[in-house]
Amino acid sequence: MSLWNRIRRFRGWHEATIALLLVSLLAVAGRLMPSFLRVDSQLLLSRHIWEVAILALGMTPIIITGGIDLSAGSTMGLCAVMFGLCLTASGSLTIGCLACVATGFACGALNGVLISRFRVHPLIVTLATFAGYRGIAEGISQGDSYSKFGDSFSGLARGSWIGIPRPGFLFAMLAIAGTVLLGRTPTGRFIYAIGHNQQAARYSGIAVERLKFWLYTASGLLASLATLVYVSRFDTAKADAGKGFELDVITAVVVGGTSIFGGRGSLLGTILGLLLIHETRLFVSRYWRTDELRSIVVGILLIGSVLVYRVCVRDRRA
């Protein structure tokens, strides 16, 4: 095999491209706006992305199996309301957090059951629960919000240990666990196999349905953890928590090189995609100081990354 072929077959092309884009973005940003690269401000503003990052860890394997979870943001809304409700009713933070996690588990498990037991397409199931969970959250809370959870709870998302924001530790733990699971265990291989060809995976004895159930449940659980970070950051639990996050998450996963048809992708790519989107948004809104530009730039990134993927695939098949 020639060197050229080896380069072409190198599996990390997408990740490498994104990493390069990220580096050049930072270089340009640093030139136009020297204060942009300051580590302390970058760490402080990383706050805006932790919740989406945690959700992305659950979304990536789901999209690798060829599925999707549109209900992630709405699950956060329901979790936030249950947190606020149980906290005010019991007066105990622990009970509030437990209620939040239990709600996330239940929401994810319901998605999982509908998808794996009844074999309904994930897009339809989660589109339904996307509306349903948010609706229940709004119904229970009647538009009210719960707030003033105290400074120590606010510190969970706003504070830092050894200079690194606290949610970063949670994210790092989860990300390492996810990377090991996807890349180093049989379960991880099965997830890719389902994405490549679900029937073939089923006939080769992989417990496709059980695996899918747990993936959607995990996504719900991660949404509840993201909710805790979110509620702590804004010191407010309201039914609109995480509104629109599902689209941010899916964008990050797709920009990160995961194929929306399944079978291909990695957590590293997702994290890089997320960083690229986050830094681009930050730069655009800090440099030009208009909020509207942010969405345009993210749209361009998404199309660009899908084009890269298309060109890659066409080349490999030719």
Least separation in angstroms between residue 209's CB and other proteins is 38
Residue 88 CA from chain centroid, whole number: 29
Least separation in angstroms between residue 87's CB and other proteins is 14
Q: 13 vs 105, which CB is nearer to other proteins? A: 13
Q: How far apart (Å, rounded) are the C-alpha atoms in residues 186 and 288?
A: 48
Outline where DSSP puts E strands in 53-198: 145-147, 160-161, 164-165
**Interface with other proteins in residues 110-129 (CB under 8 A):** none
| Residue 179 within binding range of other proteins, rule CB under 8 A | no
222-249 residues labelled b (16+ CB within 10 A) or e (exposed)? bbbbbbbbbbbbbbbbbbbbbeebbebb
Residue 241, classed as helix, strand or coil, is coil
Q: 64 vs 301, which CB is nearer to other proteins? A: 301
The set of residues, in sequence order, having a beta carbon less than 8 Å from that of 175 and lying 6+ positions away, is 57, 267, 271
Q: 93 vs 102, which CB is nearer to other proteins? A: 93
Least separation in angstroms between residue 159's CB and other proteins is 11
Q: 20 vs 164, which CB is nearer to other proteins? A: 20
What tokens appear for 286 in the block?
């800090």
Provide the H-helix boundaries in 159-244: 166-184, 186-196, 198-203, 208-234
| Residue 138 within binding range of other proteins, rule CB under 8 A | no
Q: 172 vs 313, which CB is nearer to other proteins? A: 313
Which position among 93, 202, 236, 306 is part of the footprint of other proteins (CB under 8 A)? 236
Q: In the stretch 254-293, what mask flags binding to other proteins with x, by CB under 8 A?
A: ----------------------------x--xx--xxxx-
Q: 209 vs 235, which CB is nearer to other proteins? A: 235
- Please name which of 304, 165, 192, 275 lies closest in space to residue 312, comparing C-alpha atoms: 304
Residue 236, classed as helix, strand or coil, is strand
Residue with tokens 């993927």: 309
Q: 7 vs 162, which CB is nearer to other proteins? A: 7
Least separation in angstroms between residue 42's CB and other proteins is 9
Least separation in angstroms between residue 157's CB and other proteins is 9
Q: 53 vs 282, which CB is nearer to other proteins? A: 282
Q: How many residues in total does the chain contain?
A: 318
Q: How far apart (Å, rounded) are the C-alpha atoms in residues 218 and 24?
A: 35
160-161 and 164-165 beta bridge pairing: antiparallel
What tokens appear for 169 in the block?
């530790």
**Interface with other proteins in residues 23-62 (CB under 8 A):** 23-24, 27-28, 30-31, 34-35, 41, 44-45, 47-48
Binding interface with other proteins (CB under 8 A): 4, 7-8, 13, 17, 20, 23-24, 27-28, 30-31, 34-35, 41, 44-45, 47-48, 143-145, 147-148, 154, 158, 233-236, 240, 282, 285-286, 289-292, 311-312, 314-315
